[in-house]
């Protein structure tokens, strides 16, 4: 009864995610992954079933994490702005914890080969955006949020949060608290001073 049954597998997945982040799933060969682990390519197959399995595990795991929290948020009694604040912090959390997997989710989901995997992922993604849309619309309705096109609002906030992993390196000069606080302010209140 081993204590860490899939430890080596997890290592492979983490190394692969880092490589996928840099060059994308298609440009990374199983030999690249093996070399990064100082083993031969064939040895990987003692732990994984296929290169594709690695991608599935990376993408689906993170997607499910987002889905779980979004469902909590949606069912809460908080105001629309408070809900969006919670979503902003969720994205920052996951970005700080696992930027590589997040890059993979963003850039390589279309390389999911099994139709079931792709469908499952796309449903989670669509539902996530739809939940976000409902929150924005609710906020506009009850006067918390300015009367702009909801699509523009959703996409403006989500695209920033989704690509945060790209800037994580550069923001090492930046403290986590400043990131969390300023990001929230910029996304919610904008950057201008006049009219305020």
Partner DNA sequence: ATCGTAAACTAACAATTGTTAGTTAAATTA
Partner DNA sequence: TAATTTAACTAACAATTGTTAGTTTACGAT
Interface with DNA (CB under 7 A): 2, 7-8, 28-31, 34, 38-43, 45-47, 49-52
Pairwise CA distance, residues 37 & 31, whole Å:
10
Site for its own copies in 42-81 (CB under 8 A): 81
Helix axes 99-108, 80-97, angle to 10 degrees: 110
As a whole number of angstroms, the longest Cα–Cα distance in the chain is 65
Least distance (Å) between residue 178 CB and its own copies: 6
φ and ψ at residue 27, rounded to 5 degrees: -85, -10
Using CB under 8 A as the binding rule, whether residue 167 contacts its own copies is answered as yes
The minimum distance between CB 10 and DNA, in angstroms, equals 11
Q: What is the DSSP letter of 167?
A: T
Residue 113 in the binding site for its own copies (CB under 8 A): no
What are the C-alpha distances in Å from 195 to residues 181, 183, 189, 192? 22, 20, 11, 8
Tokens (6 digits) for 3: 């204590």
Here's the x/- map for its own copies, 127-166, by CB under 8 A: it reads as ------------x---xxxx-xx-xxx-xxx-xx-xxx-x
Contacts of 2 (CB under 8 A, 6+ apart): none
Residue choice 38, 46, 169, 194 for contact with its own copies (CB under 8 A): 194
Choice between 31 and 119, CB closer to DNA: 31
Q: What residue 163 binds from DNA, its own copies, none (CB within 5 to 8 A, per partner kind)? A: its own copies
Tell me how far apart the alpha carbons of residues 8 and 10 are, in angstroms, rounded to a whole number: 5
Q: Least distance in Å: CB of 34 to DNA?
A: 7
Closest C-alpha to 176, from 96, 85, 87: 96
Among the listed residues 8, 111, 125, 137, the single contact to its own copies using CB under 8 A: 111
Residue 47, contacted partner among DNA, its own copies, none, CB below 5-8 A by kind: DNA
């Amino acid at each position: 009864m081993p204590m860490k049954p899939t430890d080596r597998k997890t290592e492979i997945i983490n190394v692969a995610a880092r490589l996928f982040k840099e060059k994308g799933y298609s440009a990374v060969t199983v030999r690249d992954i093996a070399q990064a682990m100082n083993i031969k390519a064939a040895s990987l197959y003692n732990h994984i079933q296929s290169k594709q399995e690695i991608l599935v595990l990376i993408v689906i795991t993170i997607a499910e994490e987002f889905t779980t929290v979004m469902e909590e948020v949606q069912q809460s009694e908080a105001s629309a702005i408070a809900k969006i604040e919670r979503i902003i912090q969720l994205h920052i959390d996951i970005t700080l914890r696992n930027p590589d997997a997040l890059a993979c989710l963003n850039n390589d989901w279309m390389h999911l080969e099994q139709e079931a995997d792709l469908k499952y992922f796309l449903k989670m993604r669509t539902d996530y955006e739809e939940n976000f849309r409902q929150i924005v619309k609710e906020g506009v309705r009850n006067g918390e949020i300015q009367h702009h096109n909801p699509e523009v609002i959703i996409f403006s906030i989500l695209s920033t949060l989704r690509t945060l992993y790209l800037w994580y390196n550069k923001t090492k000069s930046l403290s986590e608290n400043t990131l969390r606080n300023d990001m929230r302010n910029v996304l919610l209140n904008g950057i201008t001073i006049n009219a305020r």
